[in-house]
Amino acid sequence: MSDVTKELLDETQGYVEQAKAKAAKAKKPWQTWLDAEWGFRNHWYPASLSRDLGEGDSKGIELLGEEILVTRQEGKIRALEDRCPHRGIRFSSRPLFYTKETLTCWYHTWTFDIEDGNLRTILSSPDSKMIGKCSLKVYPVEERKGVIFIFVGDIEPPPLHYDVAPGFLDDNAVVYCAEPYDINSNWRLGCENGYDPGHQFIHNWSEMCINAGMHTSYGYTSTKEDVLDTTRYVELEDGPKGFTRKVEKTTFRHEASIPLKDGSKKDLMLPLARGKSKEELDQLTAIIRLGTVGLWMPASLKVTTFPAPHCTHYEFYVPKNKDEHTYFQFGVIHTDDEEEAERWLGEDGRIMWEVPAVQGFTVDDAFAREQMHKYYAEEDGWQRERLFQPDVELTMWRQFASRHARGIQTEDHSRGYFKRD
Ligand code: FES
Ligand code: FE2
């Protein structure tokens, strides 16, 4: 290698080292958020829809990296570690329930009690000394509103409603459940996308907006004072924790321009805003202003008056592992009228919520999260991002979540290093 090449290489290497050192510097005030790549431990999460697990059914799921077998036996949902202590077989790959009380491993017949997880017998060796001496982890489960919630952690679980945004579990809440799907992005990007005031621009691509002729904007902007003024924190000891922003004081920009080198500028206007009078534009944005958007521990979003005035949209970004999250979405109305409730669970919920919101709107959010994942997962994005003023609301959430997390999930938990009794 010539001296000149060596010098150039050294110089390049020096630059890389410097840039990395700069990126890895300082701890952030939201360090817990940065550490929670695998999710927050000791919280409740939606794991499946009730309708996807009939009597006698079972399936393997992944929650915060932990592999879990979920089954319904005699009407009751059980969630068990999907890993045989003998030699690690996943029960879910060939589930074997000889009785309603037991799960048998299909490899060497170890048979477990599905209520407490203990090894009850071994079909081939009923006198084995191992019997009664080892167990599977049993996960606390609650089934409410057509959703199966599982608690992932080691502590005595707090009541479910501490981890579900207000309104969802109300007696008169009628919950329309969309089919959940997996997204190739870390769960934290889900939280940050849903709440991001600057992300509204992506919904100019959304079918719901196009079909309704509803312009969105180049992104919300608010002054710091207005953000503080319109954000309400909920940090009760005995209830859900989260915060909510009213959209009322936000500025929506429909026009923009790009300065050109010759001193002139290229003017732009959002396609769906073109040809509309100021009054018409104001009228449409007034509808958006009625809404509120809130983030709730451990990983969900609640949007009121969306997409219809009487509907509340809930979504959960459930960590599946560090590179995927499961996207649960629910359209909720509150009513004591049985007929209205029945209609909502049928065609009303489908036409007024699922088709516009799930099929025609949030798909663009899902796409954006996937596009952002590589930077954060592989390119030090959490350290290298260059935040600007509207992002203050994201850092507010990061700090809030860091304050209220009951624990951090780690890769070791996903490999089965956790408490079993
Ligand atoms: Fe399950 Fe052997 S691996 S009994
Ligand atoms: Fe969105």
Range of the domain at 221: 160-404
State which of 22-36, 89-103, 239-253, 285-299 shows the largest mean pLDDT: 89-103
Cα 108 to ligand 1 centre (Å): 5
pLDDT the model gives residue 14: 76
Which residue has the least CA distance to atom 3 on ligand 1?
87
Is the model more confident about 6 or about 31?
31
Do 287 and 171 fall within a single domain? Answer: yes
pLDDT, residue 289, reads 83
Q: Which residue did the predictor score with more confidence, 217 or 79? A: 79
Check which CATH number belongs to the domain holding 84 and give it: 2.102.10.10
**pLDDT on residue 26:** 65
C-alpha of residue 341 to centroid of ligand 2, in Å:
27
On whether the pTM is more than 0.85, the answer is yes
Report the separation in Å between the CA atom of 93 and the middle of ligand 1, taken as the mean of its atom positions: 12
Q: What is the mean pLDDT of residues 199-220?
A: 91
Residue 54: what pLDDT?
98
Tally the domains of the chain.
2
Please tell me the number of the ligand nearest to residue 130's CA.
Answer: 1
Ligand nearest to the CA of 361: 2
Class of residue 131 by CB neighbours under 10 A (exposed 0-12, middle 13-18, buried 19+): middle
Tokens of 356: 């516009």
Of 22-31, 142-151, 358-367, minimum mean pLDDT range: 22-31
Residue ranges lining ligand 1, Cβ < 6 Å:
84, 86-87, 89, 105, 107-108, 110
Taking the C-alpha atoms of residue 150 and residue 63, their distance in angstroms, rounded to an integer, is: 9
pLDDT-based confidence at 45, cuts 50/70/90?
very high
Given 121, 152, 183, the domain boundary residue is 152
Distance of alpha carbon 410 from the chain centroid: 17
Is 367 among the domain residues?
yes
* Separation of alpha carbons 242 and 187, rounded Å: 17
Q: Are residues 63 and 86 in the same domain?
A: yes
Q: Counting ligands in written order, which one lies closest to the CA of residue 203?
A: 2
Residue 324 maps to a domain? yes
Segment 271-313, tens digit of pLDDT: 999 999 988 888 888 888 888 999 999 999 999 999 999 999 9
Same domain membership, residue 148 and residue 203: no
Pairing mode, strands 255-259 and 102-104: unpaired
Q: List the shell of residues around ion ligand 2, using CB closer than 5 Å.
A: 365
Distance CA 142, CA 147 (A): 8
Residues 134 and 255 in one domain: no
